[in-house]
Amino acid sequence: MDSNSWMRLREESPQYRLAPALREADRFGARDCGWVEQMRPFVAQLSRPGELVLDPFCGFGTTLLAAALEGRRGIGFEVDPARVDATRERLCGHGISADLRLGSIDECSGEIPPVDLCLTSIPYFGCGWPDTQAGAAQLYAAGDYASYLRRIGDIFHRVHTVLGEGRYCIAMAENLSLGGRMVPLAWDVARLLSDRFELLEERVLLYDKPSTRLAPLTLASNRSHEYALVLRKARARADLEATAALLRELAQDHAFRVHGSFADWLRGEAATHPADADLLVEPDAPAINQLLSALVARGFQLTSWGEPVSLPLRLDDYRGRYYFRARRLDHSGQVLQLDIGFQLDDVPASRRCQPPRWIAGVPLLA
């Protein structure tokens, strides 16, 4: 793989193309089956021989086939039983075995071994999946975009737990045209995943497709490209002094306590460089709204589990989530990040926020 920001895919090798019988048997016409040529360069560049490659949206096993051809092992998850059978048949035809599991990775109860590379194509929203009775696990059948994105977030949350530290996650996605409007799926997925992974790079995958001349004053696209979003599981490194200065400033008007690795750093006890600052606040909606508003005024973006947060908020709408993330990207590329935790359930008064103790000018969790 070279340093070009694009990769042109001219034709699919007949040797590794999905067999016509398997394509015809698929109720979706296998029109979402990717090319082995699409996957092999990423396998070769971002993993080592013998390592384990994961595809959480396995489909017809294209990633698993590409992994095997590059001397890697594969593990895949697929929610459609017919496609699991088709993948087994396809891989068997090439003399390949892989760890193939029926179901969604975020609902898997069995053990998942440590993974060295995640490489997948995102199932597209609004594609007209023929089984209207499919369950929530089938993203092709999602009825609305917000629910679809939440499921994507849940799945990559599990991917994050099994992916090795410092290893790559490649998610291929395309912006869509639905009902005459553009749906920025690739960009929304990039935003969603960058809340958990470090977004590093992109490759624009170009496909040769027939084109037509457009009538005057019209604009349309043959959708002959998609994005390979390159992410990595890596701990961010907070600007410690800038974060401490921000907390001292906030503490003048807002009640919170600092805990976790940033509190350890303030005490001089940190074992690692903190990635962010963890704050604990009383579960009081007006006070939390005031604190979050102060952060927005200072250029921070707010999310909860990857979803944007709009103010003012109701805490009951976030039951079970327990924290908000505030993140600011400065013009130099430096990121400041705060994770603001709260409690909604019945918590003994002794465990709630008490008047803060101060270390280095910052209120800390006792």
> Could you state, in order of their start, the residue ranges of all structural domains in the chain?
6-232, 240-364
Rounded Cα distance, 49 and 72, in Å: 5
Q: Which of 179, 93, 200, 167 is nearest to 128 (CA)?
A: 179
The fold of 6-232 is Rossmann fold (3.40.50)
pLDDT in 10s for each residue of the chain, 366 residues = 999 999 999 999 999 999 999 999 998 899 899 999 999 999 999 999 999 999 999 999 999 999 999 999 999 999 999 999 999 999 999 999 889 999 999 998 889 999 999 999 999 999 888 876 777 789 998 999 999 999 999 999 999 999 999 999 999 999 999 988 999 999 999 999 988 899 999 999 999 999 999 999 999 899 899 999 999 998 777 788 899 999 999 999 999 989 888 888 888 887 788 888 999 998 899 999 999 999 999 999 999 887 889 999 998 888 777 789 999 988 888 889 999 998 655 545 554 455 455 554 555 544
Contact 41, 1 (CB under 8 A): yes
Q: Which of 14, 149, 162 is nearest to 77 (CA)?
A: 162
The fold of 240-364 is Beta Polymerase; domain 2 (3.30.460)
Cis peptide, bond prior to residue 312, ω within 30 of zero: yes
Count of beta carbons in the 10 Å neighbourhood of residue 81: 10
What distances in angstroms separate CA 173 from CA 145, 187, 231, one per listed residue?
15, 9, 13
Close Cβ partners of 77 (under 8 Å, ≥ 6 residues apart): 55, 56, 57, 58, 101, 102, 103, 104, 105, 108
